[in-house]
A and B are shown apart, each in its own frame.
Chain A
């Protein structure tokens, strides 16, 4: 067993129009969305991978933790997702035990756990600050690699998707009426991990006057100049090939 710390950026909704309550922490919908988490997954004691959907304090003096897993059923008691999943949860230094939940519920895909009579907001009221939420007694993982910089900011997380630089260049001028050129890119495939971004090399003009097409293929891509108007210069295109 281990600890799993989820880093969040605290968000808030204050004086919500529906009930005049205020909320601080992390919530990913459906009704309210506030706070940010780069990687909010953890593996519970029961071996399942959960996503932290909500962790917030409300001015009703309650803490709500909502965790998601597609195998959670509304017919199950919420207590199936307290001590069987984690030993404790610590929010910015304040620890809450699953055996001390005040109430809870389940819906298909989620379990909701409440701790009442929590008069102190463990998140504080300053939004935009980074805070830690630590589940103790959980399993290692999920597997992957994460890197932080020397300030402790998570720079690359397990759930991030990034674009990486392959090449940037400019084509020779291509004649209109379907003129084309094949640009060779080593290793390129026609799938969504290869992205080609291109624009006209030169001043912007009417879109109807400089349409072009990009076709990805094995080993490169083809740019086709589809201009058919009366003003028909050859056109060069700037392109950037990225991988994700």
Chain B
């Protein structure tokens, strides 16, 4: 780079430059399982971040095979991957085109070479990355495993601020008497800490899931299909 602005974090990752727009939590909705995905307020190209505000799984599902996408639900029967009571959802976009430059006042605004606003301090909320990567799950027909965050021994202080990317998730359930029961999820599970000594309902963990239930085996097993490129963020 011969000109411009680059700011790196302490780990050498670029957090701000003049090329790429920060992700802006543009609008939020609250939905129950089974609600149409992505829901009101969504714009084409939005990233969809969701938080389950109770224990439960989260992924894009469908009420019928090949039917319209929905926030996953148990309405097809006794789900092997129970959904939550509901979800908080943020539709996130590039700052460019969604934030009007302040024009006055103080703070920092950064524009790209097309004069599009790509960063501003004039926001009330933003996201930072907690974890990202790729998770294949267990090998096909091997006992299912999950990838847990923060770690095997840690917890998020406030799980209600942790959101997961839904766009590339998938929940599918088949319970046809002709075929065997089959249910799969490429998504996430929220687990709130139970206990009596600290703000019950806020602390907890997120697990990345890539597995399926086969009734014929009565087991949760690896799929051996595509990996889930997971993205977990914290709402600030």
Contacts and interface: CB of A to CB of B under 8 A. Distances in A.
Interface string A183-214: 00000000011011111100111111001111
Given A33-B157, A163-B23, A169-B45, A204 B124 contact: no
Given A149-B122, A197-B231, A41 B10 contact: yes
- Chain A interface bracket (under 10, 10 to 19, 20 to 34, 35 or more): 35 or more
A128 interface: yes
A147 interface: yes
Contacts of A38: 128, 236
Interface in B63-118: 65-69, 93-96, 105-108, 118
Given A197-B167, A203-B66, A243-B20, 14 more contacts: A9-B157, A17-B197, A34-B198, A38-B128, A142-B10, A144-B9, A149-B107, A150-B105, A159-B10, A163-B132, A197-B165, A198-B168, A205-B65, A208-B225
A11 B159 CA distance: 13
21 contacts: A29-B154, A36-B157, A41-B10, A144-B9, A147-B121, A150-B105, A154-B236, A156-B16, A160-B128, A162-B23, A163-B127, A165-B95, A168-B45, A168-B46, A197-B47, A197-B165, A200-B170, A207-B170, A207-B186, A207-B212, A240-B47
B172 A165 contact: no
B27 interface: no
A48 interface: no
Given A145-B7, A147-B108, A207-B172, A16 B155 contact: no
Contacts of A148: 121
A144 B14 CA distance: 11
